[in-house]
Structure 1
Amino acid sequence: MMMQPFHLLVVMATGIALVQCHGGEHHISADGCGVTKGCFRDPSGCTGPTDCDYFTSWMLDENKNNKFTVTGTATGYVALGFSNNPGMKDSDVYACTKNNEVVRSYNNADEYQNIGAELKGVSEVAVAVVDGRIECSFIRQAYLVDNDATYFDLRENNTYNIIMAKSDDLTGDGNVVYHGATKTGSPEQFSFTDFEDAVGGMEGLPLQKSHGSLMVIAWVGFASVGIVMARFFKPMWPDTKICGVAVWFALHRTFMVMTFLCTVAAFIIIFIHTGYYFTPDEGLPRFLHALFGTIVTFCVILNPVMALFRPHPGEPRRPIFNWAHWFVGTGGHTLAMVTIIIGLNNGDFVSLIDDLPSRVFWVMIAFIFFHYIVWLLFEIQRCLTDSQGRTNDIPLHGSDKGSSQQHLSQNDSYAPPPEVAFAGFKTSLPHGFQMCFRSSCCNKDDAYRDDRICQTTEEGSMAKTVLLVIYLVGVLFTVIFIVTSIAVVPA
């Protein structure tokens, strides 16, 4: 039986509609990648559209225009862009959306702003959502003659980085939303008249994670504890030595060496990742993060160099070194906290590791308050209980003025001011007791022992130890929380 003309039209219309809705599904394939068409895929181990998170291919039609196919595991949009760098700035972007359309935008080179752009030079658009994936195809003219600088010329000899992004969401009016960490890109540039078979991925993300983790470990962890030991714990444990030097100095030196190693490693890693230095053109937050990080790295290198040439205790230039060492160390630590906050903030600033939960930023803010509150308590405790002056100041080793141990002995034995205040009255101390008090000697057999002074010293030591334990718990929790949060960010 012959089909009636009306029925034939219905079948033809249905077929056209099915092709329009599912054209991406039928045309997207990895067959011929690198031979008859160019391809870009992510992750590196995937074999084609069905198992790649991102996949795009391109070939030339008879008019030498580019026919693109795009797919990704998303239900809102999948975007393909052409960029002058491996990042998102200065890029011409085409997003295939679940609304069966292609939306064009331009990412500003100055402030990373996503600016809507007129869709032109694009034809034969077909978009479909299939099994949790968006599949799309369209033809884009290689170039236009309207002098639109945001429309990138894909003709021969012009090369660009490929960037892709995706999201399950759209704005209410059908435009794209920020994609967070769900993005990828090619580290190298391609000509879209050649047939490359390129593998992209988030190869840079592990480097970003390593950089961020090392800086947090260095400055929230090692540097914070190392500075506390030097500032508040010089009078503690006077009769105990580690490798022949005071406990505070051994711990301070160890923690600051670890700070130095972690910081320098993180600094090198981020340059390996970016390949260049952030400039103001990439946005003020990124530039400030890079600038402050460079200053912090300079401080962590400068301080140990100064320490190698420090004058001995008692020499006229020793106070100059003490103030310079304090300024560079404390200033570098404070600036490092600010730099880490900029790097972790995923709000109005820009997080250098996308998709970090906002709670990571607020935990870092909470640690800043915790850090300075504990420091204030340490200062109050020191004013109430510590003897006047500093003890156990460390000279250089191996000079003609004697060994470190000799200087420690001389430094610990000089007399404090002849009067010390306790419980509202002043008392003069015999010279022998002054020596004992200066070095915190309160042994039961000491001939000059004064129980009032010894009780005050012991109570102060206990309070200081309790504060140290609280501080160490806070530091350890913060470091573990932030580093773990960075580690679990999806690649």
Structure 2
Amino acid sequence: MLIWCLLALAGTSYALPQGAPEKVCDSMLPVHSGILPQGSASPYSITPRRFQGAIMVTLTSLLDTPFEGFMLQGRTPDGRPLGAFENVGEFAHTINCAQAGDTATHNSPNPKNVLEFKWLPPRNYEGPVIFNGTIAQDYSTFWVGVESGQVNVRRSLVDDPAPSLPSSPFSSTPPTFERPNYHEAAMDFDPFYTGCTSTKLCFGSPDGCVRTKSCQAAVAISVAGDKVDFELKATQNAAWVGVGLSDDEKMGDDSVIECAKNGNQLGAYLSWTEGKPNYGATRLKNQLGIRLMNQSIIDDTIYCRVRRDVMTAVNGKVFDLGRNKYHLLIASGSRVSPQGVGYHELSFLASGSKQALADVSEVKAASKSLIRLHGAFMLAAWIGAVSVGTLLARYFRQTWVGSSICGKDVWFAWHRMLMLVTCALTVAGFVLIWVELKGWSAEKNPHAILGTITTVLCILQPIGAFFRPHPGAAKRPLFNWLHWLGGNVAHILAIVTIFFAVRLGKAELPDFVDWILVGYVAFHVAIHLILSVAGCISERTADGRVSSFPMKDLSTGRNAAYMDRNVDAPYGGFRKAMLSIYVIVVGLITIALILITVLAPIKETWKAFWNKNS
């Protein structure tokens, strides 16, 4: 076996270290984060020659430009792989596409100028063979369908002279070329993540997605001398993806590299983020210091490779990417204009600590515990506690008559406790989110304003209840109406606010949470209707002497006389059964929503758990 290789000086490499996977046997198209192959003539050639009963195949760089990766097959004119490579040596190995050893690929991404392999035809085969290859100059620059001239295989081969370099290389699409499904390939294998934590710094959103190779927005950083390469990618049909270099984990006064759509192409831009109160990113007039090396838009994925000078001055501040450490802010969004990008509603994540860009260790995200606690407290308050508390106050005043808790009617004791729990959780959740954001939310979402109004109404309810008039007082009906109105408005606003929370980027909640909330609302309304009808029947059964439908109690004094009776209103057992069903179902819904919120993003958490235990 004759194999030899002239190596150039080693440098930073982006080619697939392990060689081509078998899943691309037919297409020979690398899955390089959706990067398209070059359309120009290849600077590399594949030259076959007959030698001692075999065929020697030479891969050569015509322009002294080393290549880092390759995939090589012998094929029939109609595109079927055949034959096998023998003893390919230390620089390559074979994989099995149609049969054992019929494809050769590289072992490492070390630069190579010339490689030669020995290829054996199938036994008793006679006919033409064309050698077809993919040759990668680096991770983002490669040619697919580089073909040799046709060579005829005979039982008695006559040796050919040593190869001479052709005047122009072949560069065409292989006969069986089929573009693979990018999403399926990316799910199983995505070279964007190759080298993360070993040769390059990687960070992505949601937290932990680099390990599972499922980031919605991600950056991979490689430092080489006075240049720093940033690879940016985003899914979800994002219009832009950006990485910010910040002195803290909050947005404001940060240098940002944007990969943003510009018509049917992508552009790379430098921008500067403003802090409070005018959050936003301003694209710089001076774009010196960065250069777009490669870009692609494949299906719902955008990708840019941007080279930035290690020393840049942005908005009067010097950024030394070689010496200084920075928090990384990764973000993506769906809106872009000629002046800049829109809000990062698709994804946003900040690193938990400052990072040297040459440090390839795993990057931890900033803690989101306060956001998770805020969501959990609000769900427990407004889906759980309020729902049961209002039901008790409206339909159970004439139930458990003769029983008491701390000297108070059972319904009232539970109602008061649940409302106090609601108020405490709401205030705590409100404080937590202010501590986390250190100001008003920058998202264009009514969640913040609706949540503030709900919190104010929640605080006013117990204050008003403390000063409520005596049951026999003239102003008691007015208090009843105001208390009922304030409670119901607060509850409705809270549910609407939670619906808007599903659209918050920081919440990272899946879309199916909307359906859980819709199910809760439908169940809540159905139980109220059932108990309202039951109240009317109960009142009619009692010959109309009393009112078990509490809305009548808001303006009359009839309830006071009825409450003195020592018997429950009719159908008390039915009401208790409905209450039990309601508490169980609402409790399960509340627990499910809290778990989804605390473990968000739930899909990535489940995927990480599954990978760990499978």
User: Does the Cα contact within 8 Å between 2:233 and 2:304 map onto a contact in 1?
Assistant: no
- Report whether the alignment pairs 1:10 with 2:57: no
Q: What's the CA shift for 1:259?
A: 0.9
- Report whether the alignment pairs 1:331 with 2:456: no
Q: What's the CA shift for 1:466?
A: 2.9
Q: What's the CA shift for 1:211?
A: 1.6
2:350 aligns to what?
185
Q: What's the CA shift for 1:341?
A: 1.0
Secondary structure (helix, strand or coil) at the match of 2:402 reads coil
TM-score (norm 1): 0.60
1:29-86 deviations in whole A, cap 9, x for unaligned?
97999xxxxx78679x99x999998665576966xxx623458999999954227895
- Report whether the alignment pairs 1:458 with 2:570: yes
Change (3 A) 1:215 1:123: same
User: Does the Cα contact within 8 Å between 1:181 and 1:355 map onto a contact in 2?
Assistant: no
Distance 1:188 1:323 in 2: 53
Distance 1:162 1:264 in 2: 32
1:475 aligns to what?
586
Q: What's the CA shift for 1:226?
A: 0.5
Distance 2:327 2:448 in 1: 23
Q: What's the CA shift for 1:203?
A: 1.5
Count of aligned residue pairs for this structure pair? 393
Report the residue type matching 2:566 in the other structure. C
Distance 1:377 1:107 in 2: 58
Q: What's the CA shift for 1:240?
A: 0.4
2:409 aligns to what?
246
Instruction: From 595, 598, 603, give the equivalent of 1:484.
Output: 595
1:219 aligns to what?
382
2:228 aligns to what?
67
- Report whether the alignment pairs 1:441 with 2:552: no
1:262-303 deviations in whole A, cap 9, x for unaligned?
11221122122212112xx631x2xx2111111111122221
1:82 aligns to what?
244
Change (3 A) 1:416 1:258: closer
Secondary structure (helix, strand or coil) at the match of 1:81 reads strand
Distance 2:303 2:497 in 1: 41
1:122 aligns to what?
290
Distance 2:523 2:360 in 1: 54
2:150 aligns to what?
none
Q: What's the CA shift for 1:484?
A: 2.5
Secondary structure (helix, strand or coil) at the match of 2:349 reads strand
Distance 2:329 2:311 in 1: 19
2:307 aligns to what?
139
Instruction: From 318, 322, 329, give the equivalent of 1:155.
Output: 318
Distance 1:243 1:364 in 2: 35
User: Does the Cα contact within 8 Å between 2:198 and 2:361 map onto a contact in 1?
Assistant: no
1:313 aligns to what?
471
Q: Taking CA–CA contacts closer than 8 Å with sequence separation of 6 or more, which of the two structures ends up with the larger relative contact order?
A: 1
Larger Rg: 2
Change (3 A) 1:211 1:366: same
* Cα RMSD after superposing both structures: 5.6
Instruction: From 111, 123, 139, give the equivalent of 1:21.
Output: 139
User: Does the Cα contact within 8 Å between 2:499 and 2:517 map onto a contact in 1?
Assistant: yes
Q: What's the CA shift for 1:247?
A: 0.1
Secondary structure (helix, strand or coil) at the match of 2:229 reads strand
Superposed counterparts of 1:267-278, under 5 Å: 267-278=430-441
Distance 2:202 2:380 in 1: 36
Q: What's the CA shift for 1:485?
A: 2.3
Q: What's the CA shift for 1:336?
A: 0.5
TM-score (norm 2): 0.50
Distance 1:378 1:50 in 2: 49
Distance 2:389 2:346 in 1: 35
Secondary structure (helix, strand or coil) at the match of 2:243 reads strand
Instruction: From 262, 268, 275, give the equivalent of 1:104.
Output: 268
1:192-222 deviations in whole A, cap 9, x for unaligned?
9x99999551422x33222222211110100
Change (3 A) 1:11 1:485: same
2:518 aligns to what?
365
- Report whether the alignment pairs 1:203 with 2:364: no
Change (3 A) 1:74 1:28: farther
Report the residue type matching 1:441 in the other structure. N
User: Does the Cα contact within 8 Å between 2:243 and 2:329 map onto a contact in 1?
Assistant: yes
Superposed counterparts of 1:306-455, under 5 Å: 306-344=464-502, 346=503, 350=504, 352-357=506-511, 359-386=512-539, 388=546, 439-442=564-567
Q: Which one has the bigger strand percentage?
A: 2
1:398-440 deviations in whole A, cap 9, x for unaligned?
xxxxxxxxxxxxxxxxx969xxxxxxxxxxxxxxxx97x6544
Identity %: 23
5+ residue gaps, structure 1, are 34-38, 129-133, 146-150, 168-175, 393-414, 418-433, 443-453
Change (3 A) 1:166 1:312: closer
